[in-house]
Amino acid sequence: MSAQTTATAKEAATRDGYGNALIKLGAADSNVVVLDAGVSDSTRTNKFAEKWPERFFNMGISEGDMVCTAAGMAKCGKTAFATSFIAFLLGRSMDQILVSVAYSDSNVKIVGTHCGLGIGEDGPTAQAIGDVAYMRAMPNFIVLCPADAVEAEKAIMEIAKRKGPAYVRLGRGNVKTIYDESYNFEIGKASVVAEGNDAAIMASGIMVQESMAAAELLQKDGISIKVVNMSTIKPLDRKAVIDAAKTGVIITAEDHNIYGGLGSAVAEVIAEEGLKVKFGMIGVKDRFAESDTQKVLFRKYGLDAEAIAATVKKAVSKK
């Protein structure tokens, strides 16, 4: 493991890291404003609202209005965070995000929670599995998917320093803490959380945790796995992909459709650089799931540690 990771068993959701960051930003900068579409308890923006109610705006179930209001505030010199569940935040306001934020290059941070199959019982209409594809294709946007609450907090602090649009993808459930407070998050920089020579798993969000568990399973079979946290999906760390290719195998892992997400971004680099490497993608295979627990859905759709380990083991055997 990297020197900046920790083996602590502490767990927290990445959305909790978001709430913590907003408290720090609110205290440091009076120009920070936060908008939410009626789900502040779940998105953790309620922490900011309790301290600075005059800078918090509950827009209700009106995501398009919220995005345009945030863009207007940004044009008046504010750093605006617009927040809701991803399925509704993007599903109901893509035109407003395109025109008022991306095209206008507004200083708006779109922060979506409850991503992927990880939200479990909320069902397929709320399981956002195409959001990275949407936002990767949007000019001017940075796209981030932190692996734990510590990284989420640090990522939010970094995008606040940087003028312009950003999209941050956060989860619902608790994940094991990977990093400690010494971790230095950099936009566009991948983080190696486990070293290995036989293959590399490049993962984002909750799948970093699953990939680390898969690496431990493979170690029992004498297979050494490098695990890379690709928390910045755009701009992608090309050097990290080139370095990972030296193992001879790259497998991407994401709680997202296999089309248009992290796997597609890594494949683009492999093709553009002409890298000689066996490549595979673990993710949702272009289908809708159903309502069930995260554990059940991850197992059924091949996203858990056991499925990742089996995929990597097969790829390594064919090197």
**What is the residue-wise DSSP string for the chain?**
--TTB-----EE-HHHHHHHHHHHHHHH-TTEEEEESS-HHHHTTHHHHHH-GGGEEE--S-HHHHHHHHHHHHHTT-EEEEEEEHHHHHHTTHHHIIIIIIITT--EEEEEESBSGGGGGG-TTT-B-SHHHHHHTSTT-EEE--SSHHHHHHHHHHHHHS-S-EEEE--SS-EE--B-TT----TT--EEEE--SSEEEEE-THHHHHHHHHHHHHHTTT--EEEEE--EEES--HHHHHHHGGGSEEEEEEEEESSSSHHHHHHHHHHHHT---EEEEEEE-SS---S--HHHHHHHTT-SHHHHHHHHHHHHHT-
| Cis peptide bond N-terminal to 124, omega within 30 | no
Q: Which of 11, 50, 54, 63 is catalytic?
A: 63
**Cα–Cα distance between 253 and 263 in angstroms, integer?**
7
**Cα–Cα distance between 41 and 98 in angstroms, integer?**
27
Q: Any catalytic annotation for residue 181? A: no
Q: Which residues are catalytic?
A: 63
